[in-house]
Structure 1
């Protein structure tokens, strides 16, 4: 056996087994159990695994472990000193420079190394030094602010806060201790049967015909310890839903937000939910939890009045206490429910607090999970482990559409500790380590039959030639009003154009991962999925189980953006675990995430419009091929209109993506509206406003235009341009304004982005602004350079060194305008802010160059043409 070596990690000498050629990341995570550094790409291109080697920041995935021998290794877990946060940790918390938090540990160690060398870097230095880091949630504007704040805190040690004590895990963790309930199935009767003590409040509703409602039930538990646990089937992947729901429950129950836990996405205890998608968490889940909390408040007031012998009107609830007149008598909520075993059904007319009267919600709040993210203790799916856990790996085809003809398993089966599993065309291996599993699956010799596939050059023609029927929201869609053909034929102003968008990858920084365990014929899976109940159904069907025998638990995970629906990795882990007779963890590589996760659909959109001599629109024809019907309607007043969506047989796997098809449809609509304005000789802002009847949409458009300085849009220097776009989607209204410069060589520089957003009543303005900024920057990537390169069924840029996502140097100043409307219901904020970015940029480029670009991405090589 080869001798090992010693590595000093976070001040402690650790013995490492043989194999200095292994990556430092593998040693830290798999051998030493230090999970702060994250696996993001495996090639040193995302920064998620950054650690300090001495004073140098290095990517642990590309650093051989042997290079750390005799050196100090510092991970995010070792940054704090003497019980106080490191300045970078505190700065990230103060500025909210994170969403899912998966990338945060790498940013913190990288920033610590930067500030040790450059005490006060400017933005250009920050961008250059930290360009190797990726935040796929795109919180880059806040990251810049966090670096500057950390630089200040480096000189203010007296301002540093203690390391926060982690709260109890809000999600059910592996090997969790007994809870105050023991559920067999998630329904109120099971709560009552299993409840040992406390109050359970349940709210439900019947979905309205023809209205999408992803959540129909919610419940919460008030325990003798005073802790309130809210239950929802929604999940958290960085969108801030957990924090928003905890604020709303705290508001209704009159308790501090820290007294509320939100248990999400556990099919064993959560109410059924269709999934976390479409910005439906706040519109669907929040009202139910508010009603459940209001019902619990009513019961607590009744219990206090009975205990004190007072009228209910004389009872005040505040800070988790029920008090009588002048503050006495008093009892805590925990005292009131001690000995109680009650399930209360919320009434339809429960008195929910009006947003105009909010005292906790509606104000900035620091994320409760921020402390775990900055200290490296947050438990992502990729961090989970159980005793006796093995690692699994699956054999993949070399291309889409490939058919397995034959296998030679001898080499893999001869490897020590390897078990090969075959179930039809499913082939995988189980091994003691992830490295051994990868080596074994690589040793399998497989014979494949490949079939010809279209590539990028043939995509538009292929989609047009291969219409599909589709089902549900993917079914064909038709809307018509007036005589469109006559309007188009007779309008003195007429324009036809085709707009296209590329396939885009989700690129969540945490690749898919699942841990599966079988016990007495029952399956439990921990995984990152936005649809845990759908995943449960898929697992049960594929494995021949009743759904009651399957539990899917979703810890907060490292980003999804619509790309982690269903049970892909979970099913692989479950199959391997059943064959192996023990728990198995399957973690996809970055290449697998690119090639075997689905993509944002490509789009081909044909638009024709006409206007009369006064510039009023008379006809509008809009046909989307393949990408979807989200956002396909027009908010503009047009008497004759025909709008259609035609599904197609996509050559690549495709599915949901942040904002769905609304991005492609908005790009085509808002680009065409700009062209019609120019054709009519009208100001693009005035032209839009003249056709808008929705005052909320008009308001965000005016606000964005004012902030960008639209009154000087026609006075820009040569090569400079301003652009506008707006849209409504998922109950929200958004407008984006862009300022760009194009130099003589065609090089594009985005100088500013402004997004004005109205999503009704604002619950947490700090988190909402963070979501708007992140969506705006993510939209920047899809607008300018993100695209999947493919041919013959193979994605050819399946790595972060080949597929470009936004990084710090790409991000201009981003300004956010939030319009709070307490009189309107709260809509989701994570998706709609993305949809107007691409058309605003396209319109700005047209203003700067005279060239109209009708395909996304607009500048894949950083340059645009000139007229």
Structure 2
């Protein structure tokens, strides 16, 4: 135990939390010694525990959150694969800060390449411990001891003689009455994708029936004894300050309590409708506030790019064909089906908050800071959540519920309205993208100058071979609150880059696919381009068609689309998507991720845009903010390029990046107009 003591392992605490049986504590090699806050890019976020109880149930503890991406299922598959046990024996314990080890959050498509891999190592190490236990009981070495279907079996063939009989031992039998810690090391032996039995298969969603029957409880469904409902007073425009407040009418309502803490004003009541009625009865007077409008946006975001790149400028000057264009993307909302909600309860100076978030430990920090509490006095529990898309990194609803609960002395639930979600959540960043590019007489790229203002640097580099390039991301002062969004800036950067590639192809009088392949040496991206084109029938295409491709977070994507344009209306007729992210973990769920990303990308490509002026959001409702509808979604044909020879990458984000430029390419084929602003409108 010297090694575990050196890295701060508290054996008594973990067995108190988890009970008897075998416990595998996972340490991420050098990251473990760095501690939670320092030393590495993602310290300690890979930690996880696996526990086998005496009842045979295998509990897996991780800080990752389930927000509809089915990571609960794929992580369970990872453990079942390496432990060689039925997936029905796996119970995932996720995102409860009192029970699970620290995790930085569920974002960046890192759960599959990081956490799944780490859990596989943990399960493999545990399997080794179980084999040792069985071998010791049998008085033999481990050379002929194997794991099989949740049991340890003995097998040693002897020519001409039957093998000695030893009854298989279940994992539960082996761990009974024992407390064993396994140290997880980098040199764990893992099964190859070619031999996977559980991974690589379309295991149904764990607890899937609970979601379709309504048995699953989201945060907004939770009820605690004595719980009341809360609402928060919000200013009518960004930056406005409260000048005065008449709360007499609200206070006169039976069961209503008005809570004031500085500029924070809230009400609590026995029911949601009474809380809303009390909020409406408040008479505040505001002053100040305001801000710019959409018409000012891109001028505000544009920054000076500084000195040009001499090599690029020289290559541009001698290019046979040049393109110099500016592309723009608007702010868009995450628009999750489940709005932000939080339930908070105080007991003995400790606050427990239930909320939907992608960063349970980040919300824990927010609560600790808001109330000046030590970490052990804060607990955050995240029920499986109704989507996040990068928009639920923060814990506003949990903090608001905790403030009201502390003042009221009762548990409080807050559920944001759809309008609050639109106005007070953060947006996908808007951006200005400036591109200069040149090709030689043979259609080869010779110059590439790319600048993104404000929206970010995700997937900003070009995957194409080019002699001279200059690629930069520039920060801006955003007039609206902005933050993470599915794929971050990859959709904006891919839109500008692939649109310019189409413009260059037109200048060279080359087919868009041929032009890309001529300038592309990355074999993985070439493979998905060719797979999408083959399935789509690109060479023999009819109608108005477009193509685009890109790389992000280990995912390789190509889209082919066909559109029908009538007047100002664009209808996407069909979509083919080829996607490769290494070895496929769950084909059915991967296809769902790709489809979801594409449909979400349709919104940003054709419809979605936050409208604002004078400090107000002007379209804070689905009746005014257009998201894709069933009628907008065409047949989507997905080609999975399964690379069993490569590590598995995440797939929650990369598939969104290619749909907008592919549609733009098809619109150009139909109309001869190049649309350079998202959303694209004729």
* Range into which the TM-score falls when normalised by the shorter chain: over 0.9
Q: Does 1:675 align with 2:503?
A: yes
CA offset at residue 533 of structure 1?
Answer: 0.6
CA apart distance, 1:348: 2.2
- Which among 330, 349, 355 is matched to residue 521 of structure 1? 349
Kept in 2, the 8 Å contact 1:186–1:271? The answer is no
Post-superposition offset of 1:620: 0.7
Q: CA deviation at 1:461?
A: 1.0
- What is the match of residue 725 of structure 1? 548
Q: Distance in 1 between matches of 2:197 and 2:416?
A: 44
State the Cα distance separating 1:646 from its structure 2 match.
Answer: 1.1
Give the 3-state SS of the residue equivalent to 1:768 in structure 2.
helix
Structure 1 residues 851 and 384 mapped into 2: Cα distance closer, same or farther (>3 Å)? same
* Residues 535-586 of structure 1: CA deviation (Å, up to 9, x unaligned): 1111101111112211111010111111111211000001001001111111
- Alignment match of 1:750 (pick from 551, 569, 572): 572
Task: Label 1:710 to 1:480 Cα distance change in 2 as closer, same or farther (>3 A).
Answer: farther
Q: Distance in 2 between matches of 1:609 and 1:783?
A: 23
Give the equivalent residue in structure 1 for 2:93: 263
Match status 1:706 vs 2:528: no
The residue number in structure 2 matching 1:845 is: 667
Instruction: Give the structure 1 partner of residue 281 of structure 2.
Output: 443
Q: Secondary structure at the match of 1:606?
A: strand
Q: Cα distance, 1:210 vs. partner?
A: 7.1
* 1:196 CA drift (Å): 3.4
Query: Does the 8 A contact of 1:192 with 1:342 survive in 2?
Result: no
Identify which range, 800-809 or 325-334, moves more after superposition: 325-334
Name the structure 1 match of 2:610. Answer: 788
Per-residue CA deviations over 1:670-725 (Å, capped at 9, x if unaligned) read 00111011111111111111111210011001111111111034xx4xxx311110
**Structure 2 unaligned residues grouped into runs of 5+:** 1-7, 156-162
- 8 Å Cα contact 2:240/2:290 also seen in 1: no
Correspondence 1:367-386 to 2 at 5 A: 367-386=205-224
Counterpart in the other structure of 2:138? 308
Q: SS of the residue aligned with 1:726?
A: strand
Over 3 Å counting, the alpha-carbon distance change for 1:819 and 1:259 in structure 2 is same
**1:815-830 maps to which residues of 2 (within 5 A)?**
815-830=637-652
**1:211/1:574 Cα in 2 relative to 1: closer, same or farther (>3 Å)?**
closer
Partner of 1:398: 236
C-alpha displacement of 1:415? 1.3
2:442 aligned residue: 614
What per-residue deviation string (whole Å, max 9, x for no partner) do you get for residues 90-146 of structure 1? xxxxxxxxxxxxxxxxxxxxxxxxxxxxxxxxxxxxxxxxxxxxxxxxxxxxxxxxx
1:247 matched to which residue of 2? 77
Aligned to 2:159: none
Are 1:214 and 1:280, in contact at CA under 8 Å, matched by a contact in 2? no
**Structure 2 match to 1:299:** 129
Q: Distance in 2 between matches of 1:439 and 1:684?
A: 59
Counterpart of 1:640? 468
Query: Could you tell me how far 1:428 is from its partner in structure 2?
Result: 0.5
Establish whether residue 857 from structure 1 lines up as the match of residue 674 from structure 2: no
Contact 2:546-2:561 within 8 A present in 1 as well: yes
The 2-side partners of 1:633 and 1:722 are apart by: 25
Q: Measure, in 1, the Cα distance between the counterparts of 2:502 and 2:580.
A: 23
Cα deviation, 1:409-437, whole Å, max 9, x if unaligned, reads 11111111111111111111111111111
CA contact (8 A) 2:233 2:279 kept: yes
- Which aligned pairs between 1:306-455 and structure 2 lie closer than 5 A? 306-325=136-155, 328-455=166-293
RMSD: 1.9
SS at match of 1:284: helix
Q: Distance in 1 between matches of 2:10 and 2:607?
A: 47
The 8 Å contact of residues 282 and 827 in structure 1, kept in 2 or not, is answered as yes
Cα deviation, 1:438-468, whole Å, max 9, x if unaligned, reads 1111111111123341111111112126x8x
8 Å contact from structure 1 (residues 482, 640) kept in 2:
no
Task: Return the alpha-carbon distance in structure 2 between the equivalents of residues 452 and 383 of structure 1.
Answer: 36
CA distance in 2, matches of 1:482, 1:549: 57
1:40-51 → structure 2 map (5 Å cutoff): none
TM-score, L = length of structure 1: 0.74
Question: Paired residue for 2:297, among 441, 454, 459?
Answer: 459
1:820-839 Cα deviation digits (max 9, x unpaired): 11111111111100100000
CA distance in 1, matches of 2:290, 2:597: 37
SS of equivalent to 1:267: coil
Written as runs of structure 1 = structure 2, the 5 A alignment for 1:594-613 is 594-613=422-441
Q: What is residue 561 of structure 1 aligned with on the other side?
A: 389
SS of the residue corresponding to residue 763 of structure 1 reads: coil
Contact 1:481 1:639 in 2 (8 A): no
CA deviation string 1:372-401 (max 9, x = no partner): 112110121111111111111100110112
Residue matched to 1:501: 329
1:754 aligned counterpart, secondary structure: strand
2:313 paired with 1:485: yes
Say if 2:365 is the partner of 1:534: no
Which digits, 9 at most, give the CA deviation of each residue in 1:713-753, with x for residues without a partner?
Answer: 4xx4xxx311110001001111111111213x243221111
1:123 corresponds to: none
Partner of 1:30: none
C-alpha displacement at 1:309, in angstroms?
2.3
Which residue matches 2:4? none
**How has the CA–CA distance of structure 1 residues 402 and 186 changed in structure 2, closer, same or farther, with 3 Å as cutoff?**
farther
**8 Å contact kept, 2:42–2:104:** no
The alpha carbon displacement at 1:195 in A equals: 4.8
Question: In the superposition, relative to structure 1, how do residues 809 and 195 fare at CA in structure 2: closer, same or farther (>3 Å)?
Answer: closer
Tell me the number of residue pairs that the alignment of Structure 1 and Structure 2 aligns: 660
What TM-score comes out, normalization by structure 2 length?
0.94
Matched residues in 1 for 2:25 and 2:479: separation? 46
Give the Cα–Cα distance (whole angstroms) in 2 for the partners of residues 255 and 308 of structure 1.
Answer: 21
- Say which is worse superposed, 574-583 or 447-456, in terms of deviation: 447-456
Residues 452 and 194 (structure 1), Cα distance of their counterparts in 2 relative to 1, 3 Å cut: closer
> Among 795, 803, 825, which residue is 2:625 paired with?
803
Summarize the Cα distance change of 1:213–1:820 in structure 2 as closer, same or farther, 3 Å threshold.
farther
The structural deviation recorded for 1:323 is 2.0
Kept in 1, the 8 Å contact 2:238–2:290? The answer is no
Deviation, 1:187, is: 5.9
Shift of 1:479: 13
Deviation at 1:214, TM superposition (A): 7.6
User: Is the 2:457–2:489 Cα contact (8 Å) retained in structure 1?
Assistant: yes
- The whole-number CA distance in structure 1 between the counterparts of 2:307 and 2:345 is 49
Deviations 1:268-317 (A, max 9, x none): 11111111111111111111111111111011111111122233122221
Structure 1 pair 482/760, CA: closer, same or farther in 2 (3 Å)?
Answer: farther
Do the aligned residues in 1 keep the contact of 2:356 with 2:385 (CA within 8 Å)? yes
Q: Distance in 2 between matches of 1:763 and 1:649?
A: 41
CA distance in 1, matches of 2:354, 2:195: 39
**Secondary structure of 1:500 counterpart:** strand
Aligned counterpart, 1:651: 479
What secondary structure is seen at the aligned counterpart in 2 of 1:420?
strand
In 1, the alpha carbon distance for the partners of 2:18 and 2:615 equals: 53
Answer yes or no: is the 8 Å Cα contact 1:623–1:644 preserved in 2. yes
